[in-house]
Structure 1
Amino acid sequence: MTRTKLVRFGKLVVATLASGMLLAGCAGEANQEVENVSGSKESDSSQASGILGSQGDGGAPLSGGTLTYASYAPVVSLDPAKTQITGATGGTELAAIYDLLMRYNAETGKYDPQLAKGLDESGDNLTWTLSLRENVKFSDGTPLDSAAVVASINRYNAKRGANNEIWTSSVKSVEAAGPSTVVFTLNRPWAEFPAMLSFGHGVIVAPSSYAAEPFTPVGAGAFTVERFSPPDELVLASKADYWGGAPKLDQVKFVSIQGEQAKIDSLATGGVQMAYLRNSETVEAAKGKFPGYAEFISLSMVGQINNRAGHPGADVRVRQAMNYAIDPAVLDQRARGGKGMPGSEIFQSWSLWHNGIEPVGLDPVKARELLDAAKKDGYDGHVTYLGTQDPNGQAAALAVQAMLQSVGFTVTVEYAASTADMVKRLYADHNYDLALGGNGLLDAAPFLRLYSALHSTSVNNTVGVASPEVDAMLDAIQAAGNGEDKKAALADLQTLFNEQVPIMVWGAGANFVPWSENVYGLMPSLDSIILLDEAWIKK
């Protein structure tokens, strides 16, 4: 590989880990509430995202102490343009250093200003105006003004930060309109635009950060970097002149602990006070022991079919046959111990975007008919399944192999040597026919990862879908509002999945960030990024 390709490949490793692809206006706020068509924000309450457990208010906040957080995948760079800003990798860490322009509030379904003072949408839905808080300074003493915001966003896109493709195709211009105002002009309406300012584009770095090499982490967040030893440890110290007031915590440590059960054990013994979990069995166990923030996600478990020419999945009949042959419930039992959320719907009953379009169900007879028709036209029936070597990954591989072979496929299972090898084969070499994956759709912003996974121009489109019809459908989802129009557009996507099977839908899932009973003041945002500026520990 050339050096440029190596750099992009390294970023793909981080991006796919973070998004779960492998593992399985009014003044003061962006009034973009995610609603269902009846106007209610409620769906299946048993699967609603939010804080679980009852701690009470804890009394008056106390100052002092160190909070230790066992991350999912340790951050390896403090440059937002080189780190996926999500809860799984880097989001909580970088938000502590740089803060976020906007924060998603799961309780209200709205985006609240964080570093920003407000975000307003124009009547024609093509302009968003961001107002900044006054007198906010970076840790080097320079002002966080509109010029700094515009420069940071432009740099992020130039460096190909996560979601830069969506941004550059959708945002016509970003301009400073006075020292405290930034105007975003869009090419088309985009109701989910505030979500972009709660991810990487909303993580603003000071001009001094990139004035010279190497990059220096200078932000306006509640903490500054005390020690960084990737991938083992990141230690942050509180910043007394933080714009929101001095943090209660003295220090925050982000550490690496291998294995989710080990994280739960460390929580129980006080070794850490927070952890990030996403394995179905450990999430279920932790929810019964600790308070925390749960976020439910669609397309957590999918079958990634290589649609490219030269692979079996280039034939829609083969993709349909696979889809009819595999039972998500069996796969969940084998790979997740029956603790997952199996199903063939893109949006299950708990989702705001659940619709009346029935997914394709299990039908081995149809699977054999479609496979036989493809074989008559020269297909040999062989499929190479690429899996991971962990026990759950191996169990999933054997289950998929058995169900496909029962209808006439011949399946060879290959295991990737490492996560990096898996990413290379999926995203760089496209050397696979079928693989277990996940897309991690967020109910508050489903378009972002649908675009990433399926748009013909996306570098993360590992399955190789190159369909004008799919691209047009994604454009319609993006332009739709947050109500009936969007729900209808997403229902159309389910119909397309039923007919074309670009990927197989096997189930939803959840992220869970548990914390100790004596930890208070944590503020969740989108994708389980947790803000720590108001966090405190009860002695």
Structure 2
Amino acid sequence: MRPRPVAVALALALAVSAPALAACGNGSDSPGAATTAASADPGEPQVGGSVTFGVAVETTGLDPTISSAVGASGATELASLYDVVLRYNPESKKYENGTAQDLTSNDDYTEWTLKLRPGIKFSDGTPYDADAVRLSIERHRAPQSRSLARDYVQTIDTMTVVDPLTLKFSLVEAWSSFPYLLTTQAGFITSPTAVAKLGEKLNTEPVGAGAGPFILESYTPKNSIVLKRNPDYWDGQVYLDSLKFVNFQGGTLTYEAFRSGQIQAGFLREATASFDAGEAKEPGYVATLGSGDILAINSAEGRPGHDRRVRQALAAAIDPKVLSDRVYDGKAIPNSSPFPAEFPWGPDVPGTTFDLAKARSLVEEAKADGWDGRLDLVASSAPLATKWAVTVQALLKQAGIEVDVREVDQSALTTAIFVKHDFDVAQSAFGIPSSDGAYIQLQENIGHADNRFGFHDEAFSAALAEVRTADTDAKRTAAYKKVALAWNESVPAVATASINSRIVWVPNLHGVKPTSQVALLFGKAWLSR
């Protein structure tokens, strides 16, 4: 076996320049991933103080196999409770050890060996060992699992406990970016003792279940999650007394709460709020994600989107710039490519093109074969989302498509898309980052055989398979070019904008570390006074 240390060799395909640590400008010119902070030296960390964080979307719980566990919803909360096996550093483009001491692969990336740091315990006293990691990941792999990680943990064939601190992963297929998995839901390791003891209560009362820097004080769904310092944290002093998560129903209200001092940090996903915070040069972190706004298409058999011509017509009928101007006052980043402009393996393939004549022609062809020309569009009832849906409705009407808009709350929208698959088209997002997470997002949403959108295309699947095994920048760029070309031809969704997912925090908050999925690590965060 040829060792590939996490912090060095695993970054061989991530060799892109790190973004500058400088004050960011407006929403349209921010780097792909950057931390922005006051330039003055804050001095030594100080103990004490509390941070209230405004999340973008309330999490569905605190069990990693149930929680949505992405940066906008759940991942920061869960990382605070459970810690991470690995951290992805978006500035250096490298993996850093969390509870891991080392991670190495064999030559063809089909086997990975994880060594854990010694002496770690969950807050219930259970050893944080190789078997605990194995059992935790098995929960995501279980047939009845509701985990968003379930699809990509299926790449693991077997997990073998070599010794108390060593776990070997044998994969079904080669995966050069396997470390990314351990930065996500699958890397939030749960105490097997707590899992057995708590049962379903793990999702709402995970007392003793984690090894993170904070432990649960209270969880009131639809209200707040309050965490307090873990006095026995394996990585030493936790500086904050407490960490509280609240939801203000949208980026505009979250930013208003931040500006008024109600919260000390907040997630701003909506284009206008993110843009305004960038203009104000607020300290924080910003990551530009491709496919930040999409018209999701249900391509399952029996749906209009099963016909490739209908999908192509949708792409040709929608002008991303019109959406930006009408919905976001020109503050969005119009982009019909699935990838952000800053994508490190940029395929240099333009996205789909607005072409109303082509859209009308394709619609007429599909109608001639029996389609009634109608679509059901499911969208959030939030004001900006309503504006987006009405604009899409008008654009598609120009192409001869009649759209019935069905407005629902955010929870019902999630259920309609991801659980019941009850839609023809829907307002959604893939959030494709400039990291190994791009493969995860594409595979999870539209790549695997049983994907949530019912999409299947041989050329697209073959291109994604090349991404999975690519181990150099050149190979990844070539593979992503094939992905982009297949996307334009098969149209699994209509990308309309990249988006700056921005997290703002007060100038006297220091030591916050971003990781994958636009999540934050607060284990060494502190407030200067």
**What TM-score, normalized by structure 2, do the two folds share?**
0.91
**Structure 2 equivalent of residue 316 of structure 1:** 308
2:397 to 398, 405, 416: 405
1:476 to 446, 466, 473: 466
1:98-138 per-residue CA deviation (whole Å, 9 max, x = no partner) reads 10000011121011001111211222221111111111111
**Structure 2 equivalent of residue 18 of structure 1:** none
Q: Structure 2 unaligned segments of length 5 or more: list them.
A: 20-27
Residue correspondence of structure 1 range 39-58 to structure 2 within 5 A: 39-41=15-17, 46-58=30-42
Residue correspondence of structure 1 range 417-436 to structure 2 within 5 A: 417-436=408-427
Residue correspondence of structure 1 range 135-174 to structure 2 within 5 A: 135-158=119-142, 159-168=145-154, 170-174=155-159
Residue identity in the other structure for 1:172: D
Secondary structure at the residue paired with 2:9?
coil
The separation in 2 between residues aligned to 1:259 and 1:437, in whole angstroms, is: 15
The separation in 2 between residues aligned to 1:426 and 1:192, in whole angstroms, is: 28
The separation in 2 between residues aligned to 1:447 and 1:273, in whole angstroms, is: 33
- CA, structure 1 residues 205+123, in 2 after alignment: closer, same or farther (shift >3 Å)? same
1:90 to 66, 70, 74: 74
**Structure 2 equivalent of residue 20 of structure 1:** none
1:467 is aligned to 2:457: yes
Secondary structure at the residue paired with 2:405?
strand
Report how many aligned residue pairs link the two structures. 509
Residue identity in the other structure for 1:100: V
Secondary structure at the residue paired with 1:416?
strand
- CA, structure 1 residues 458+376, in 2 after alignment: closer, same or farther (shift >3 Å)? closer
Superposed displacement of residue 448, structure 1: 0.8
- CA, structure 1 residues 458+481, in 2 after alignment: closer, same or farther (shift >3 Å)? farther
The separation in 1 between residues aligned to 2:419 and 2:210, in whole angstroms, is: 33
The separation in 1 between residues aligned to 2:243 and 2:30, in whole angstroms, is: 32
**Structure 1 equivalent of residue 24 of structure 2:** none
Superposed displacement of residue 176, structure 1: 1.4
1:32 is aligned to 2:10: yes
The separation in 2 between residues aligned to 1:229 and 1:538, in whole angstroms, is: 29
1:493 is aligned to 2:493: no
Superposed displacement of residue 498, structure 1: 1.8
Superposed displacement of residue 223, structure 1: 1.3
**Structure 1 equivalent of residue 246 of structure 2:** 255
1:188-239 per-residue CA deviation (whole Å, 9 max, x = no partner) reads 2212211110111111111221122333332111111122222312222212
CA contact (8 A) 2:300 2:455 kept: yes
- CA, structure 1 residues 405+31, in 2 after alignment: closer, same or farther (shift >3 Å)? same
CA contact (8 A) 1:129 1:183 kept: yes
CA contact (8 A) 2:42 2:528 kept: yes
1:203 to 188, 191, 207: 188
1:349 to 320, 323, 341: 341
- CA, structure 1 residues 265+422, in 2 after alignment: closer, same or farther (shift >3 Å)? closer
Residue identity in the other structure for 2:9: N
- CA, structure 1 residues 315+161, in 2 after alignment: closer, same or farther (shift >3 Å)? closer
The separation in 1 between residues aligned to 2:249 and 2:412, in whole angstroms, is: 19
1:176 is aligned to 2:161: yes
Secondary structure at the residue paired with 1:82?
coil
Superposed displacement of residue 370, structure 1: 2.2
- CA, structure 1 residues 517+349, in 2 after alignment: closer, same or farther (shift >3 Å)? same
1:446 to 411, 435, 438: 438
- CA, structure 1 residues 251+70, in 2 after alignment: closer, same or farther (shift >3 Å)? same
Secondary structure at the residue paired with 2:65?
helix
Deviates more, 1:339-348 or 1:473-482: 473-482
1:290 is aligned to 2:276: no
- CA, structure 1 residues 281+167, in 2 after alignment: closer, same or farther (shift >3 Å)? same
The separation in 2 between residues aligned to 1:220 and 1:391, in whole angstroms, is: 40
1:532 is aligned to 2:528: no
Superposed displacement of residue 95, structure 1: 1.0
Residue identity in the other structure for 1:205: T
The separation in 2 between residues aligned to 1:332 and 1:526, in whole angstroms, is: 27
The separation in 2 between residues aligned to 1:231 and 1:103, in whole angstroms, is: 29
Superposed displacement of residue 34, structure 1: 6.7
1:127 to 102, 105, 111: 111
Secondary structure at the residue paired with 2:10?
coil
Deviates more, 1:440-449 or 1:513-522: 440-449
Residue identity in the other structure for 1:88: A
- CA, structure 1 residues 370+280, in 2 after alignment: closer, same or farther (shift >3 Å)? same
Secondary structure at the residue paired with 2:38?
coil
1:379 is aligned to 2:365: no
Superposed displacement of residue 535, structure 1: 0.8
1:192 is aligned to 2:177: yes
- CA, structure 1 residues 482+240, in 2 after alignment: closer, same or farther (shift >3 Å)? farther
The separation in 2 between residues aligned to 1:316 and 1:370, in whole angstroms, is: 10
Superposed displacement of residue 57, structure 1: 2.9
The separation in 2 between residues aligned to 1:510 and 1:533, in whole angstroms, is: 25
Superposed displacement of residue 417, structure 1: 2.9
Secondary structure at the residue paired with 2:163?
coil
CA contact (8 A) 1:33 1:482 kept: no
1:107 is aligned to 2:91: yes
Secondary structure at the residue paired with 2:245?
strand
The separation in 2 between residues aligned to 1:528 and 1:405, in whole angstroms, is: 36
Residue identity in the other structure for 1:435: A
Q: Structure 1 unaligned segments of length 5 or more: list them.
A: 1-24
**Structure 1 equivalent of residue 497 of structure 2:** 507
1:475-495 per-residue CA deviation (whole Å, 9 max, x = no partner) reads 222222251212211111111
Secondary structure at the residue paired with 1:208?
helix
Secondary structure at the residue paired with 1:386?
strand
Superposed displacement of residue 91, structure 1: 1.0
The separation in 2 between residues aligned to 1:442 and 1:143, in whole angstroms, is: 34
The separation in 2 between residues aligned to 1:527 and 1:521, in whole angstroms, is: 18
Superposed displacement of residue 456, structure 1: 4.6
The separation in 1 between residues aligned to 2:60 and 2:341, in whole angstroms, is: 37
Residue identity in the other structure for 1:54: A
CA contact (8 A) 1:132 1:145 kept: yes
The separation in 1 between residues aligned to 2:153 and 2:53, in whole angstroms, is: 31
**Structure 1 equivalent of residue 318 of structure 2:** 326
Superposed displacement of residue 450, structure 1: 0.6
**What TM-score, normalized by structure 1, do the two folds share?**
0.89
